[in-house]
Structure formats: structure tokens, C-alpha cells
Amino acid sequence: MKKTIAFMMVALLCLSQMVLSPAQVQSASEFDANRLRVAYSVDPDGLDPQRTVAASTFQVTSNIYDTLVKVTPAGELQPGLAESWEVSEDGLQITFKLVEGKQFHNGEPFNAQAVVNSFERLKEEDSPRAKDYQNIIEMEAVSEYEVRFTTEELDVDLPSKFAYAWTAIVETGVADSLRTQPVGTGSYRLVEWTPQERILLEAYEGALTQAKIRTVEMRNIPDPQARVLAMQSGEVDFMSISGEQRPLVETISGYQVIANPMNGIQLMPMNQENEYLKDPQVRRAIAMAVNKESLIEHIFADDGQKIGSHYPPILANYVDLSEYIPYDVEGAKQLMEEAGYGDGFKLKMYLPKDYQMYVDAGQVIAEELKQLKIQVEIEVVEWAYWLENVYQGRQYDLTVVGHTGRLDSYQWLARYHSESPENYFNYSNERVDEILETVSQIQDATERDVLYQELQTILAEEVPAVYIQSPAQLMAMREEIQGYETYPIDIMPYSDLSYR
């Protein structure tokens, strides 16, 4: 029984492989060096990087837009649309010197005023990232290619905040249509987007970083077996895969699998607005009843690393809290009795349909919680529903999801501030608020490290979520593709890729 789930998944895929004709398999060796065909599972919720929180959107828009600051796969900052920058002695101002002679895809000029306009829009009330940039109190176009930002308070991580995909410089002259007709300065321009079907990108000749592959065709294939079949038949050149798919994909002639540690975590958030889940003892009991090792082995196919708090092991300041709450069903039952809930209760779990591993994990957890007499009603919902009603609307009890792509400790942990718009746990702790309100103003790195490590420990103790694992990023691609690297933020720059 130990390997049952993973074995059945591979067996089903192998049976599917048997229906392919020799001609279909042979076609896998053919490719067009001017075209990259990408399979993706989750359609973006629009192509406006300033009006989304979805990683699936940033994976696309990071090719259409540029940011002032870029990040390397190692997490280092480097010039983007800003060729250099300087921070004032008091740390309250940052001045960017911009690259010259660039244009947006529609021919409008890129300059300091375009940057100011773009950040003004990012800070508007209906921007989901507005609160992250409220510390910026003034933006000034000092000259045509120089722009200065002034902050109200010291933020030692300020330069990194200009590297995230949501800080993309957009052409605000067409702001009302950016959701479906994005206009940036990036390596690719949008040719076509047919929702739930495909996205077609074409290399932009005047880009800051010139793409090596002229056309990128992104095909929406939600079903994981269908994606593997498409790769087997040579219809797909590049795609993300799960651990269950890896054994089969590695048998496909002409393809390779690259596995890299991911700057991300996977977890089961618990909404503390719920009358039962607001009790930390109940949350701890639930965490004790979840067998993380089994989930990682059977659902996530042994590719991840168990965690105990909201922080990935790949980053500095990580504290190993993976054993802080042990798997102990009998101990969990005792905690439920002590909390006055020995007879159990009912909870509602919403799971995002487009992420099969989260659906599978949620179903397994629901079965485990029956041991505590907790009855979990599961509803599998579309991704757009999950974003609007679970993440933004906070209308749920339990869910299973992942978080990725923050460059510094503060950005990883800031969502736990009681007033954060991203605090969909409805978690509140005065000490956590105090740390988050002061840590970015502390210039001594050692002192900051101590506070971040304390915050991780508080989360492990109070369990606003069951922290499961930090996953690996598995990418399958043709053997001829080179240049792929994993980034610590939610971007997938196809301009990195080329064919041998």
C-alpha cells in the first residue's frame, strides 16, 4: 500500500502511452528552432501584472514586460530597465538611471515619466499590491531618463521591491485594455490570447533582452495525462511536470527532465474566522493528525522537503522547524478533548481544480481528520473562483495551495501581519505585527535575522496553517533546449532559452 497512489498514476500514464503509433513517437524528434511550444495547466486570470496575485499570470507577463531591476537565478539583483541605481545615505531615497532609446510595443517612448505613471497605477486603490508600496510617498522624474523614489520610512530591502513581476513598467496610455491586450517593453509581444486555449507570443525586435526563439506558443492543457501524451507525440517542447509524471517522461526519447529546488512552500491554510479554527489548540491537533511524510511520498512523489513554518529552506534565515509538531494522532485526539471538541465538528475545504496535487492532498487530509471526528466537506472549484472567494474573499475553512517567489524574508512573512490584504488566514498576533512593523527599518543584518527566525518559530507554534513541504521544480523539455534556469520569483523568461 505504501506506493499505491504513485504506482497507479504511473500505470495509467503507461497505458496511455501504449495507444501511440510509431509515427507519433517518431515525431518527438522533430522540432522547429524558431518556435517553442509550451504546455501549461492554469490559464492566467488576465495579462495585467498590476492587477493580479496569480503566479500563472506572472509566468506569462514576465515575457511581455520588463522591470527596473532584474534578479538572477541565484537571487542577486542586476540592471533591468534601470541601468544603475543609487540609495541615499539615510536610505530614504533611491534614484534610478534608466536605459535610453527603448519603446513600448505600441511605439510609445519609455522614459522616466512612463515609470512614474506606471508606479502611480501600481499604488492605486484597486491594485492588490498597493499596500506593499505605500511606504513610497513621492515619485519624481528628475530628467528624461532618471527617476527618484522617496520613502517615508527606512526599508533596507527597498531595491529588491523593484524586481517583482507586479512592478512591471506598463504603458498606462492603454491601461483600460491591459488585461487582454498587454503592452510592455519585454522580449515578447502578445499576438493572440484565446482564454482556455492558447497564448501566442512573438519576439520583439527592440527589446532590452533579445529573444533567441522567435515564437512561443503556449497551449492550455489542464489534464496532466493529456500534457504527457502531447509531449510523447512531439506536440510540446517544454512544460512543468509533477513528481508522479517524472518516471514516464524520463522514458520519452529526445526529452530531458531538470529538477531544481524551488523558492516555494505548500501548505493547508486554516481560516481563523471559523469558530473552531480560531482555537490554536485545535489547529495544533489538526497539524498533528496530518502525516506530512506520507503526503510528500505519495502525493508529491518524494521531490520536496518537509517544513514546519512559512519559509523555504533555500533562503537565508531558514529555521528547521519540520519536527516542531510531530505526527501523533493519539496526541491530537487528546488535544481535541482538552479543547472541548472531542465529538468533532464540520469544516468546508475548497480545492483549486487546476492543481491536481492540491486536490489529491486535500482529499487525503480530509480522510486523516476523520480520526479526530472532523468531517470535511470538499468542494473542488475553478482557479478564478479560488482567487476571488478563498484568497481574496476569505470565504473558506480549509484549503491546500502553494506560495512562491519572494526575494527577502520580509516579503515571505509579511502576509501574517493582521492588516495585510494577503492575510487570508485571518491570523492575528501582536508580537508578529510588532516584528513586521519594525524589522525593515533595522540596518543591522544580524538583528534582523534573529527577528525573522523568531517569527518563523511563532508561526510553527500557533499553526495558522499546516506547513507541508518546500517542493522541487520539475521541468521537462527537448534535449536540444538549453539555457533553462529556475528563478527565486514567479517568472519564466523564455528569452533565456535556445535550441542547440
Question: Nearest 5°: phi and psi at 203?
Answer: -55, 135
Candidates 121, 205, 159; CA nearest to 495 is: 205
Q: Looking at the predicted structure, is the pLDDT value of residue 1 above 70?
A: no
pLDDT in tens, 11-32: 443 443 334 433 333 345 578 9
pLDDT for position 29:
56
Q: Looking at the predicted structure, is the pLDDT value of residue 48 above 90?
A: yes
Q: At what angle do helices 356-369 and 280-289 cross, to 10 degrees?
A: 110
Banded pLDDT at 300 (limits 50, 70, 90): confident
Q: Looking at the predicted structure, is the pLDDT value of residue 277 above 80?
A: yes
Tracing cell 496610455 back to the chain, one arrives at 173
pLDDT in tens, 107-166: 999 999 999 999 999 999 999 999 999 999 999 999 999 999 999 999 999 999 999 999
pTM check: above 0.85: no
Q: How far apart are the C-alpha atoms of 96 and 148, rounded to whole Å? A: 6
With b for 16 or more beta-carbon neighbours within 10 A and e for fewer, the 317-356 pattern comes to bbbebbebbebeeeebbebbeebebeeebebebbbbbbbb
Average pLDDT of the chain to the nearest whole number: 92
The gap from C-alpha 435 to its chain's centroid, in whole angstroms, comes to 24
Question: Nearest 5°: phi and psi at 214?
Answer: -70, -45
- Map out the domains of the chain with their CATH numbers: 46-177 (3.90.76.10), 188-260+473-499 (3.40.190.10), 264-470 (3.10.105.10)
Banded pLDDT at 354 (limits 50, 70, 90): confident
Q: How far apart are the C-alpha atoms of 177 and 445, rounded to whole Å? A: 43
More confident site: 393 or 315: 393
pLDDT in tens, 170-215: 999 999 999 999 999 999 999 999 999 999 999 999 999 999 999 9
